[in-house]
Amino acid sequence: MSYLIINGGKKLSGSIENQSAKNSAVAILCACAAIKGKTTLVDMPEIEEVKRIIELLRSIGIKIQWLGKGTLEVDASGDLHMDKIDPVASEKTRASIFLWGALAARVKSYKIPKSGGCHLGERTVRPHWYALEKLGVKVESNDCFYLVKNSALKGASIIMYESGDTTTENAIMAAVLAKGKTTIKMASANYMVQDLCYFLIKAGAKINGIGTTTLQINGISKLKPVKNYSIMPDPIVAMTYIAIGITTGSNITVKSCPLEFLELELCKLEVMGQKYKIKNERKSKNGKFTLVDVETIPSKLLALPDKIYGRPFPGLNIDNLPLFIPILTQAHGRTLVHDWAYENRAVHALELQKLGASVTLLDSHRLWVEGPTKFLANEVICPPALRPAVNILICMLAANGKSVLRNTYAIDRGYENLYETLNTIGADIKIINE
């Protein structure tokens, strides 16, 4: 078990490259299980979450190998052995439920261990059931596993019970191989959903309405292998770097930010008085997303006059919402943060009190953040949740003195070479292996 020593209070400077999107990567990697043949994915982030999915897919007979930095070959040509599924890998990542949609046309019946991921309170899977059963997928819940039974897939009209990202992606993966036409209304239009759709189209799927909340899908008999599909850059990691620049009062440039999925976040920051520059507009490697470089400029911040909350795209990204908490600690005044989507994620913000942040929990969804506050170095154990955990690191970078951060697996699930990258722009983070 390793831990971090952070010598904080340093001004950072320079440029850092954004990484590929975790949530796109895990969905697309699972979708490869539906393709008989060799598919190559490029710009695949080498993060713990991806490693767990690779372990999961390998355990059922899918051949996967790294061909070089960020290039992954997935060969799902052979027979699948669902009775050999890796229970440890399945239990460590919630993304394992993507197999419900990915294998809907390929495996008639199987058991899959119940999944893990971030500890954010109850995260219901019922919306997945309601959507998938319309297409012919039935999931039964038992104490430690799900029993999945697939009948012949048929197109259907689906109203999403919940406009969730993973729920929509599961429905899409099943629908592309369902006979006939499927309409999905109230669908998530978030970045990872779009990226998955563009990948599936490369594999032969027929999907219309990408980027909207209504998708029209005409089912096909089989998907074909895809060569060199590039995973899009991650808007949440980009926002993490932006939050680090602002919270530490630093002038840094974050490269390859997917602009469409950060525009409202930047608008909120502008209202707070944050100065920034947007530069070098271009298209992503897969040609589907607009990228820019964002430069943070040290600014005097004011608290937002209204509460801040996340919502499905095109709203402020639900995963970017907690990343505003460190920023708000440096703003004059008090802001209400309403994290309605998860039962307990807001509670983890109380860990920032150990570093001197003025955070007051009103209930399991709402908290006041007041600033400006001066951070204090301390020793903290990461909570078992990705964004709340990285928030602690952000605040430690801004705190004068030596801090210790333990149990960083929650961060490593979603960030690739984060500590090394930050050190290139002036951070002092040491990884200590016990």
| 141 & 254 share domain | no
| 181 & 255 share domain | no
pTM of the complete model = 0.95
| 280 & 195 share domain | no
- The pLDDT score that the predictor gives to residue 119 is 46
Count the domains in the chain.
2
| 243 & 186 share domain | no
How far apart are alpha carbons 41 and 8 in whole angstroms? 37
| 284 & 375 share domain | yes
How far apart are alpha carbons 69 and 80 in whole angstroms? 27
- Say what angle helices 22-31 and 165-175 make with each other, to 10 degrees: 20
| 10 & 40 share domain | no
| 176 & 97 share domain | yes
Cβ–Cβ < 8 Å for 131, 158: yes
Cβ–Cβ < 8 Å for 301, 331: yes
What range does the domain containing 372 cover? 2-19+233-433
Would you give per-residue pLDDT tens digits along the chain (434 residues)? Answer: 789 999 999 999 999 999 999 999 999 999 999 999 999 999 999 999 999 999 999 999 999 999 999 999 999 999 999 999 998 888 888 788 999 999 999 999 999 988 754 444 445 788 999 999 999 999 998 888 899 999 999 999 999 999 999 999 999 999 999 999 999 999 999 999 999 999 999 999 999 999 999 999 999 999 999 999 999 999 999 999 999 999 999 999 999 999 999 999 999 999 999 999 999 999 999 999 999 999 999 999 999 999 999 999 999 999 999 999 999 999 999 999 999 998 889 999 999 999 999 999 999 999 999 999 999 999 999 999 999 999 999 999 999 999 999 999 999 999 999 999 999 999 999 999 87
| 342 & 208 share domain | no
Tokens in use for 284?
Answer: 């992503």
| 295 & 216 share domain | no
Amino acid type, 395: C
Domain limit, last residue, from 230, 260, 283: 230
Tokens in use for 229?
Answer: 């599909």
Q: What is the CATH number of the domain that holds 219?
A: 3.65.10.10
- Catalytic site includes residue 32: no
Question: Residues 30, 118, 197, 257: which is the catalytic one?
Answer: 118
| 350 & 204 share domain | no
Domain limit, last residue, from 230, 246, 266: 230
| 85 & 223 share domain | yes
